[in-house]
Amino acid sequence: MNKDQVKGKIEEAKGKVKEATGVILDDKELELEGNVQKNIGKVQSGIGDLKEDIKDSI
């Protein structure tokens, strides 16, 4: 696992927490912010996966 994968998973988890908190508190702005952060984390993790695949194929 490389650092992009780890950072991506952390951002994804933080985003999920923010999103859930926004739902519980009925705070649409916090919910949206969490959703965006979660998706950014997924992208970063995907980039890490891609880097890992490239490294493995070389």
**The predicted structure's pLDDT at residue 58:** 87
The pair of three-digit structure tokens given for residue 33, joined into one six-digit string: 């912010």
Residue type, 14: K
Q: Which residue has the tokens 């919910």?
A: 31
**The predicted structure's pLDDT at residue 50:** 96
| pTM of structure | 0.88
- Judge whether 33 and 11 are in contact, CB under 8 Å: no
Q: Strand, helix or coil at 50?
A: helix
pLDDT tens-digit series, residues 1-54: 899 999 999 999 999 999 999 999 999 999 999 999 999 999 999 999 999 999
What DSSP designation does 10 have? H
